[in-house]
Amino acid sequence: MVAVPVQVSPRGYVGTVRARVPASSANLGPGFDTLALALNRYVLVDVEPASKLIVRSVGEGEELAEDSSHLAARVAIDVAGTDRLAITVRSDIPIARGLGSSAALAVAAAAAAGAEDPLSVATAMDGHPDNAAASMVGGLVAAAVVRGGVQVVRLPLDVSLTFVAIVPEVTLSTARARQALPTEVSRESAAFNLSRMALLMAGMADCRLLIPEATEDRLHQDYRSPLFPAAPMLLAALLAGGALASCWSGAGPSLLGICRGVDAPKVQAAGEQALAEAGIAGQVLLLHADMDGLMVDRDGTGGLYDAEL
């Protein structure tokens, strides 16, 4: 299978197109609305011509309305210029948990519907480019809107790093999480985040340089803690279990431990124990970076029709 960059499928292509896109974890502490990492949980979207709109969902998000209000339908209809589509969504990315589910779905739906630039479509839907960029390109990325377009830079990533995500059974919308943030920050806080972001980028490129302080932040994490009061304790538990650093995943409530692969099982166990002791339902996932990003298959020729989530 070959990763597809921006040119995906011509408008008017007749046949079934499947797009697979990874989850993502954005911010990573100090990189607010800038840094994101693609992770190996996936959403698959099939789009094919039909006599009327048909929407089917399997897995995460299957409880959502299967009609024109579905995000995949809204994106695909906008891209294709018609609602005479059959759209099937299969996902194992938890919804509204800070793992980039909406951005991944938007990228996948746009690509499967024939968008020339799925990243721009998803950025317009999501409101910021970080999650969509990681899902589109794969790996660790920095993303920004420059002169009206999305600029993405793939950053060095130590392949020995593994990621442990605490995913509580608590939903938290990005809109609500943003409402908790201050409208202004001090010069000292801005400088603090810049210093930590530099440390984080060095540590993500070489895990020997990664220290817990690299994911410290003064722009969003502390302000969002009242929305999930157990977060500080759970973040500390990941560090105590052997994580090199820990942070909120996107807008939360999921939390991410960054660790060496050899330490990942004990970090996962520490997260599970902390969740249980806090009396919080949820799961603790052991994840790896996805380095492929968007993958597209037309009529099954690329193998994605046999791919598992």
pLDDT of 14 strictly over 80? no
DSSP letter, residue 262: G
Q: Mean of the pLDDT values across residues 19-32?
A: 97
Query: Of 12-26, 48-62, 203-217, which gets the smallest average pLDDT?
Result: 12-26
- Give residue-wise pLDDT tens across range 184-227: 889 999 999 999 999 999 999 999 999 999 999 999 998 888 88
Structure confidence at residue 4 (pLDDT): 35
What is 17-155+290-306's CATH topology?
Ribosomal Protein S5; domain 2 (3.30.230)
Neighbours of 52 (CB within 10 A): 8
At 171, the pLDDT band (50, 70, 90 cuts) reads confident
Q: Return the ∠ at Cα 304 (arms to 299 and 309), rounded to 5°.
A: 140
Please write the tens of the pLDDT for every residue from 255-281: 999 999 999 999 999 999 999 999 999
**Can you list the pairs that 183-187 forms with residues at least 24 positions away whose Cβ atoms lie under 8 Å?**
185/218, 185/219
Helix 118-126 / helix 71-80 crossing angle, nearest 10 deg: 130
pLDDT (mean) for 148-177: 90
Query: Strand pairing of 85-91 and 54-59?
Result: parallel
- Say if residues 212 and 245 touch (Cβ distance below 8 Å): yes
If pLDDT is split at 50, 70 and 90, which confidence band does 299 have? Answer: low
Fold observed for domain 161-287: Alpha-Beta Plaits (3.30.70)
Domain with CATH 3.30.230.10 in the chain: 17-155+290-306
pLDDT tops 60 at residue 302: no
Over residues 80-99, the mean pLDDT reads: 95
> How high is the pLDDT of residue 178?
79
**pLDDT recorded at residue 172:** 72
Residue 19 predicted with pLDDT over 60: yes
- In residues, how long is the chain? 309
Statement: residue 163 has pLDDT above 70 = yes
Domain with CATH 3.30.70.890 in the chain: 161-287
pLDDT confidence tier of residue 127, bands split at 50, 70 and 90: confident
Given this model, what pLDDT does residue 244 score?
Answer: 98
- pLDDT at position 9 is 41
What does 126-166 look like in DSSP terms, one character per residue? HSSSHHHHHHHH-SEEEEEEETTEEEEEEEP--TTEEEEEE
